[in-house]
Chain A
């Protein structure tokens, strides 16, 4: 079970819950499971978020593997200059 942590505004949408224990092999499955656990998050997740796994930011790759002991953060969508 990976620990999935939400940034502040997102956790408000999840009724204040900041952390979820989710068993998912990759980002895509994890986001689906998260949307099921907190349905209000779905539209935001669908609009796009950045996912950090063990400190590495993933803006695109939805099939990046998540290890059971991974530290996972859901962060706002990001872009550079």
Chain B
């Protein structure tokens, strides 16, 4: 749906103003119900037995002793997820089934092997100890480059490398090779005055949502039932759980709870199909709540990576060649986001020639899940490090260097298509003009800049809007609200209908009450559900006009909707005083029945969002500790519907990126067992680690949305890794090539190459 004529001319009454969110009071008083907050009469508690080995053949599972324990009501294993045809047809569904319950082999430390439902959690825990699993421990591999070697332990016998016509027909851990680019990079490097190349590595970070996965399944004897859970997509959960359990999709109703963070990590299932199976077997409601250790070991962190980047530029700053090879391990199943890493790597620039190769690799780690702009942050870290170094080497201001090469509206993107209206240049100019850019730095301090890009997606969306008898509006959307999106939906519906914000109430509907919606991902909610909300409201306004026309006895097209009232379209339509939404609502029964509007769409045209971050960091040369002194985010939001929440998304994403850059990573011992599965040792940023995070919203309207909205949730995690690395490089005079820059790594770096970087 195209942008309404000229958004710059449009003045918004509701959109873009600050409003309290509909779920706010419940969330500050403790009333809001999250995944683990539901109970049911006769509730059983489910617990999952997990593999202690990184890679092991499961020779047998004996559950008899556990079943004999008083209070144990049901046990399930892989045998309870048989080969339903609809599962085998779909490769990804087969992988999900294997991931939620190990079959012939356990593929990573923490892989589910069996599950118990018992009358209380303590009995369930005891029962797990009584399950006897006979494992044959196999050699394992957790490192992406080791997993690519010819003699690496093989996870799956059926994997052959896709995307290579000459791939040998023997088992491998390399699931796919992708390549993209244009022009002749060798000629591009020959044309360059300066060429820099480096090899980078990034650790696997976890989304770190504070709410562990939780669900409550209640399946009755006739095989139909309910599932309550925290998820980014109740329809996805319903479809996957029903199919894995051989149920008709119509038999399962999934109600999404309030969700305590997701960031992509709740776009798939882990415990939900297991709870359904246990509840069906026990004939009682079953609740499963993960503990934090399980969240780390057995849900989906992001990929770890090894990335080589080589770039060349001329003295005037023109980038003549850009080349990258990206290796991402996505855990025990194919599907790492390496193709998106390859496509986004150079998306901020217009190199004259480009070549990017990506490798998708499986290892004995948990199956990766999406994490905010999946695949992009690590690639941006590598590229932005080289970009900064090129700028310094030719003696150009790093923002000017980026401006010289920046992708612009109408330019060709590095991944192929031509950009529509985009706002990268605006973010760079805003950074340059910001007072932070001029602050003098002290000793051991450094300043770093980095830009970032994310595509943003739309997706399948259905929205229904119903008018109540008093003229207020009930809006049902199907995309879980992670960060305040209900407030934006209320605002957009109110704007269209010309009624006050607080006259609209938005709920997240269960799967029984609304059409299919894709998961909340790709920063799509404000864009896609917003677009559908606007259309649903416009449809309702059309019905309202028809009703007024009926009452006035004039043709429907002689009535228009203005400021919450039906009014005659022009002098020829006749003289009638405006009829308010309230009057029309009251007369709905007499004029034809309930008044509603709905809209269903596969929304596309989400419009990419760019950002530039500026950071000042200080390094303690004795301890290797890095302190973030100042942080500025400038991002294009298209049109900020709820500015305070746009800022919040930007700040939250940036801080997650800072954590990834400085501290966060999965650490494995030599047995392939995760050594830090808790918040004590997997350290996410805390309040005392950070300064205030300055923000500036740039608004370059997205031509694909009526108000010009762009998604904002994901781009914010793309620049921080590179920005922080660039600040640290400037402070210590040596370039960090491995993230996170934990104190030991930084101390080592300073010791090894304590000479100043070229021209820094």
A contact residues vs B (CB 8 Å cutoff): 5, 7-9, 12-13, 44, 52, 54-61, 64, 71, 73, 75-81
Q: Is B522 an interface residue (CB 8 A)?
A: yes
Which residues of A sit under 8 angstroms from B460, Cβ to Cβ?
60
Closest to B421 in A: A55
Closest to B177 in A: A9
Which residues of B sit under 8 angstroms from A59, Cβ to Cβ?
457-459, 604
Q: Is B180 an interface residue (CB 8 A)?
A: yes
CA distance A81 to B418 in the complex (A): 24
Which of A54, A78, A80 counts the most B-chain CB atoms under 10 A from its CB? A80
**B residues 129-184 with Cβ under 8 Å of A?**
162-165, 177-181
B178 touches A60 (CB 8 A): no
B contact residues vs A (CB 8 Å cutoff): 162-165, 177-181, 207, 263-265, 267, 337, 339-340, 343, 355, 370-374, 413, 415-420, 454-460, 521-524, 602, 604-606, 704, 714
A60 touches B604 (CB 8 A): yes
Closest to A71 in B: B418
A52 contacts which of B177, B178, B370, B416 (Cβ < 8 Å)? B416
B416 touches A81 (CB 8 A): no
How many residue pairs, one in A and one in B, have C-beta atoms under 8 Å apart? 107
Which residues of A sit under 8 angstroms from B180, Cβ to Cβ?
7-9
B416 contacts which of A58, A60, A73, A79 (Cβ < 8 Å)? A73
Closest to A43 in B: B162
Which residues of A sit under 8 angstroms from B420, Cβ to Cβ?
54-56
B522 touches A81 (CB 8 A): yes
Which residues of B sit under 8 angstroms from A78, Cβ to Cβ?
339-340, 455, 457, 522
**Nearest 10 Cβ contacts at the A-B interface:** A80-B522, A81-B264, A81-B370, A8-B179, A52-B417, A76-B339, A60-B602, A8-B180, A73-B416, A80-B521
Closest to A77 in B: B339
B416 touches A9 (CB 8 A): no
B604 touches A57 (CB 8 A): yes
CA distance A81 to B268 in the complex (A): 11
A12 touches B604 (CB 8 A): no
A5 touches B416 (CB 8 A): yes
A80 touches B523 (CB 8 A): yes
A76 touches B374 (CB 8 A): no
A81 touches B604 (CB 8 A): no
Q: Nearest chain A CB to B269's CB is how many angstroms away? A: 15
B374 touches A9 (CB 8 A): no
Which residues of B sit under 8 angstroms from A61, Cβ to Cβ?
602, 604
Which of B180, B181, B343, B460 counts the most A-chain CB atoms under 10 A from its CB? B180
B181 touches A8 (CB 8 A): yes
Known: A81-B370, A81-B371. A54 touches B418 (CB 8 A): yes
A12 contacts which of B179, B207, B339, B372 (Cβ < 8 Å)? B179
Closest to B415 in A: A75
Which residues of A sit under 8 angstroms from B179, Cβ to Cβ?
7-9, 12
- Can you sample 25 A-B contacts with CB below 8 Å? A7-B415, A7-B416, A8-B179, A8-B181, A9-B179, A12-B164, A52-B417, A54-B417, A55-B413, A58-B604, A60-B458, A61-B604, A71-B417, A71-B418, A73-B417, A76-B343, A79-B337, A79-B521, A80-B264, A80-B454, A80-B522, A80-B524, A81-B264, A81-B267, A81-B373
A60 contacts which of B165, B374, B419, B459 (Cβ < 8 Å)? B459
B714 touches A55 (CB 8 A): no
B374 touches A55 (CB 8 A): no
CA distance A74 to B371 in the complex (A): 24
CA distance A77 to B375 in the complex (A): 13
Which residues of A sit under 8 angstroms from B355, Cβ to Cβ?
8
Q: Nearest chain B CB to A12's CB is how many angstroms away? A: 6
Which residues of A sit under 8 angstroms from B523, Cβ to Cβ?
80
B521 touches A64 (CB 8 A): no
Closest to A63 in B: B602
Which of B416, B456, B457 counts the most A-chain CB atoms under 10 A from its CB? B416
Q: Nearest chain B CB to A63's CB is how many angstroms away? A: 9
Which residues of A sit under 8 angstroms from B339, Cβ to Cβ?
76-78
B417 touches A55 (CB 8 A): yes
CA distance A79 to B372 in the complex (A): 10
CA distance A58 to B416 in the complex (A): 14
Which residues of B sit under 8 angstroms from A7, Cβ to Cβ?
178-180, 415-416
Which residues of B sit under 8 angstroms from A81, Cβ to Cβ?
207, 263-265, 267, 370-374, 521-522, 714
Closest to B207 in A: A81
Since A7-B416, A55-B418, A71-B417 are in contact, a sample of 5 more A-B pairs with Cβ atoms closer than 8 Å, ordered by chain A residue number, is: A12-B163, A12-B164, A12-B165, A81-B263, A81-B373
B419 touches A55 (CB 8 A): yes
Known: A8-B179, A12-B163, A12-B179. A79 touches B417 (CB 8 A): no
B522 touches A79 (CB 8 A): yes
Which residues of A sit under 8 angstroms from B265, Cβ to Cβ?
81
Closest to B457 in A: A80
CA distance A6 to B262 in the complex (A): 34
A80 touches B604 (CB 8 A): no
Q: Nearest chain A CB to B59's CB is how many angstroms away? A: 34
Closest to B354 in A: A8
Which of A44, A73, A79 counts the most B-chain CB atoms under 10 A from its CB? A79
Which residues of B sit under 8 angstroms from A55, Cβ to Cβ?
413, 417-420
Q: Nearest chain B CB to A70's CB is how many angstroms away? A: 11
Which residues of B sit under 8 angstroms from A5, Cβ to Cβ?
416
Known: A12-B165, A80-B374, A81-B374. A56 touches B604 (CB 8 A): yes
CA distance A52 to B418 in the complex (A): 9
Q: Nearest chain A CB to B481's CB is how many angstroms away? A: 16
Which residues of A sit under 8 angstroms from B521, Cβ to Cβ?
79-81
CA distance A12 to B454 in the complex (A): 26
CA distance A58 to B420 in the complex (A): 14
Q: Nearest chain B CB to A64's CB is how many angstroms away? A: 7
Closest to A13 in B: B165
Closest to B232 in A: A81
Which residues of B sit under 8 angstroms from A73, Cβ to Cβ?
416-417
Which residues of A sit under 8 angstroms from B178, Cβ to Cβ?
7-9, 76
Which residues of B sit under 8 angstroms from A52, Cβ to Cβ?
416-417
Closest to B373 in A: A81
Q: Nearest chain B CB to A66's CB is how many angstroms away? A: 13
CA distance A73 to B606 in the complex (A): 17
Which residues of A sit under 8 angstroms from B181, Cβ to Cβ?
8
A79 touches B605 (CB 8 A): no
Closest to A56 in B: B605
Closest to A54 in B: B418
Which residues of B sit under 8 angstroms from A9, Cβ to Cβ?
163, 177-180
Which residues of A sit under 8 angstroms from B415, Cβ to Cβ?
7, 75
CA distance A48 to B727 in the complex (A): 40
CA distance A77 to B336 in the complex (A): 12
CA distance A53 to B179 in the complex (A): 21
Q: Nearest chain B CB to A50's CB is how many angstroms away? A: 9
